Chains A and B, each alone.
Chain A
Amino acid sequence: MLRIRNLHASIDDKQILRGINLEIKAGEVHAIMGPNGSGKSTLASVLAGRSNFEVTEGSVEFMGNDLLELSPEDRAREGMFLAFQYPVEIPGVSTTNFIKAAVNETRKYRGHEHLDAVAFLKMMKEKMKLVQIDQSLLSRSLNEGFSGGEKKRNEIFQMAMLEPRLAILDETDSGLDIDALRIVANGVNQTRNKDNAFLLVTHYQRLLDYIVPDHVHVLYKGRIVKSGTRELALELEEKGYDFIKAEFESAEQA
């Protein structure tokens, strides 16, 4: 589904991603961990098509397309979803209307019929149950005045509504209370199937207790320096990143 090859990206001539290689197949869940500033959000942004990052080398294939050739909106319409680490606020635009526009733009792109108000409402009701989000939140302006946890839950709600092929969750677990964490994880597990895939960016192995990943990667200084299974996350939780850093530095010197 997604094949990243030797991806380099920079911002203002500052090199951030220095050769990422990663392959994600349909049905898989990957987790990316790594110290602050290692480039996790940058990777997510580059995949989603944020224009202030410049891809200087490498390639990305998504659903058989050259991802880097697509506009950000076409990437989304092709089924790539990013749950933002810091979701933005849009005053005066109701969350419901925003999502409706998003759903219908995507449907239009795929040649599906426009969802009318009734069908949309029905779909909303279903998905609302899934992430236990309140109607009153959805009538408010998008993310405006939402608590940190509410914003995150709203991201997952949007994910459920858009039914993406690949969902990248950038620290969606940060700032969630235990119940909310369980709800979010539940949302992911319920939407998980053999045709879609997830890329979870997280600092905490706790999330991985709820969403069991097939692969865990450690990103450090713009590269994936270690990959493993769930056990790797447990090891990191126990030992911290020092051993990885040490391994990496010595490899660099050699």
Chain B
Amino acid sequence: MYEENDDILGQVTTSEYKYGFVTDIESEDAPKGLNEDTVRYISAKKNEPAWLLEWRLKSFRHWQTMEEPTWPNVKYPPIDYQDIIYYSAPKQKIAPNSLDEIDPELRKTFEKLGISLQEQKRLTGVAVDAVVDSVSIATTFKEELAELGIIFCSMSDAVHEHPELIKKYLGAVVPPTDNYFTALNSAVFSDGSFCYIPVGVRCPMELSTYFRINAANTGQFERTLIVAEAGSYVSYLEGCTAPMRDENQLHAAVVEIMAMEKAEVKYSTVQNWYPGDKEGKGGIYNFVTKRGICQGAHSKISWTQVETGSSITWKYPSVILKGDHSVGEFYSVAVTNNYQQADTGTKMIHIGKNTKSRIVSKGISAGRSNNSYRGLVQVGRNAGNARNFSQCDSLLLGDKCGAHTFPYIEVKNNTGIVEHEATTSKIGEDQIFYCNQRGIDTEAAVAMIVNGFAKEVMNQLPMEFAVEAQKLLAISLEGSVG
């Protein structure tokens, strides 16, 4: 770990959002705007079965009856849903049969992002599904995983290759009607990843999906579905970046996780969508619904997120603890700088007996940003001996930013124990001076103090991504002190 720490210090001096480039590729877009024809267009592009088109249309009709939520502690001008392109696909000659057939420009894009689509690079031990704008362009290690019965493919492929599974589980954890953005997503979702781990299988490598918005004026609406059968295990990671653009772009994703008896799913996110510039211009609206259900007894779902990007983040990765003795965890670091806004947290819904949940949230605010933790812990009538522990810490850099905590606790069974601790601290001038006096400059000192603050969460990340995440924290706070 020592070596890595030094690299981070070195990285702090490199500035700006380094993923902001645009790849010059031709794309095929749906006409701007949203109506039933848009939904039909997307479904037709993907050659979808009739039931799925119906499902989309139903979602769309429901969405039309809904109102955009206004309760989050964030501010933004009204979104014109008719001014967005809902489908944009990089124009590839044909669907690539092998990784060698991928458009070289796209391949270069992923190389620039530091993501290997070369299966030869086995050392990384990570299987990747790469999604650009509305479509998945490549999934690596597919065959190797298939030997174990693991399905890891794009959502579009899954619809054709595993229709029975998709039909059974799509929307089973997050119904289309759940909220405004899930209804929208269900109507127009374009791609995403599907992952199925059969009974008793421990997935031998990290599975990851890398999302990239490239085209202008488009929204990204992907869905991820993970089904972990009894006794299985999988660790999943999602990463995302987008070019720098002056206008805001909407990202409304849905992630669903189903964990059967004794299954364990670890889901990690390193969210680094373009955050907008220093004046708050541009950036991604990241309105995401993530939910897992611990369906079987002794199952476990763990969410870890490092949120540094997006101009606005609205997301509450949640766990429904249905199976007895099931465990839900939420580890979060949310960084906001300049004019970024984040309203994020979790819901732990205890239904089964002896269920446990743990929430560790670390909010870091700098500049004129606003960072809110919003969390619900609910203990149902039959959830005997439920336990929850929540720890919400906020760290402030400077005095123009805000940190807020909104914990909601509902306990309907008096054998439950729910604990909540919260702290707010400022990076002290004396801490920075102490570092300076040891030859560590202020930028590096801030990076160090912030990483120390977030350590408990960073430790939850898979090794392969922990280093990148540490760097991200440092970079996203550049220039925020002194």
Which A residues are within 8 Å of any B CB, using their own CB? 48-52, 71-73, 75-77, 81-82, 84, 87-88, 90-93, 96-102, 104-106, 109, 114, 116-117, 120, 141, 158, 162
Contacts and interface: CB of A to CB of B under 8 A. Distances in A.
B2 interface: yes
Interface of B: 1-3, 5-6, 9, 428-431, 433-442, 444, 448-449, 451-456
Nearest to B425: A91
Q: Is the interface of B mostly helix, strand, loop or mixed?
A: helix
Contacts of A100: 2, 5-6
Contacts of B456: 92
Nearest to A158: B438
A116 B436 contact: no
A105 B9 contact: yes
Contacts of B3: 116-117
25 contacts: A49-B437, A50-B433, A72-B437, A73-B439, A73-B441, A76-B436, A77-B439, A84-B434, A88-B430, A88-B434, A90-B452, A92-B454, A93-B449, A93-B452, A96-B2, A97-B5, A100-B2, A101-B6, A101-B440, A101-B448, A102-B438, A102-B439, A105-B439, A105-B440, A105-B444
Contacts of A82: 437
A75 B431 CA distance: 17
Contacts of B442: 73
Contacts of A104: 6
Contacts of A50: 433
B444 A101 contact: yes
Nearest to A52: B429
A124 B3 CA distance: 16
B474 to A, nearest CB: 12
A41 B193 CA distance: 61
Contacts of B437: 48-49, 72-73, 75-76, 81-82, 84
B13 to A, nearest CB: 11
A120 B5 CA distance: 14
Contacts of A102: 435, 438-440
Contacts of A93: 448-449, 451-452
Contacts of B438: 76, 98-99, 101-102, 105, 158, 162
Contacts of B449: 90, 93
Contacts of B448: 90, 93, 98, 101
A86 to B, nearest CB: 8
Given A97-B5, A117-B2, A117-B3, A90 B431 contact: yes
A114 B436 CA distance: 19
B102 to A, nearest CB: 38
A12 to B, nearest CB: 15
Given A49-B437, A88-B434, 15 more contacts: A48-B433, A72-B437, A76-B437, A76-B439, A90-B435, A91-B452, A92-B454, A93-B451, A100-B2, A100-B5, A100-B6, A101-B5, A105-B438, A109-B439, A162-B438
A125 B181 CA distance: 57
A77 B435 CA distance: 12
A52, A101, A120 — which one has the most chain B CB atoms within 10 A of its CB? A101
A87 B434 contact: yes
B151 to A, nearest CB: 39
A114 B451 contact: no
Contacts of A109: 439
Contacts of A92: 451-456
Contacts of B1: 97
A116 B5 CA distance: 12
A55 to B, nearest CB: 16
Contacts of B430: 88
A240 to B, nearest CB: 32
A171 to B, nearest CB: 16
A169 B455 CA distance: 32
Given A72-B437, A73-B436, A88 B444 contact: no
Contact of A72 (B5, B9, B433, B455): B433
Nearest to B4: A97
A117 B449 CA distance: 21
Contacts of B453: 91-92
A54 to B, nearest CB: 15
A84 B436 CA distance: 13
A226 to B, nearest CB: 29
A253 to B, nearest CB: 39
Contacts of B440: 73, 101-102, 105
Nearest to A118: B2
A158 B436 CA distance: 14
Contacts of B455: 92
A139 to B, nearest CB: 11
A250 B428 CA distance: 43
B425 to A, nearest CB: 9
Contacts of A72: 433, 436-437
A71 B6 contact: no
A185 B32 CA distance: 76
B376 to A, nearest CB: 27
- Interface centre among B436, B442, B444, by most chain A C-beta atoms within 10 angstroms, is B436
A91 B449 CA distance: 8
B164 to A, nearest CB: 47
A245 to B, nearest CB: 31
A88 B428 contact: yes
A91 B423 CA distance: 13
A105 B438 CA distance: 9
Nearest to A88: B434
B439 A106 contact: yes
Which 9 residue pairs are nearest across A and B when measured between Cβ atoms?
Answer: A92-B452, A93-B452, A102-B438, A72-B436, A92-B455, A76-B439, A105-B439, A106-B439, A88-B434
Nearest to B436: A72
Contacts of B429: 52
B467 to A, nearest CB: 14
Residue with the greatest number of chain A CB neighbours at <10 A, chosen from B2, B5, B439: B439
A111 to B, nearest CB: 14
Contacts of A101: 5-6, 9, 438, 440, 444, 448
Nearest to A89: B431
A236 B306 CA distance: 58
B3 to A, nearest CB: 6
A76 B432 CA distance: 13
A50 B431 CA distance: 12
B234 to A, nearest CB: 29
Nearest to A143: B434
Contacts of A114: 6
Contacts of A73: 436-437, 439-442
A73 B441 CA distance: 6
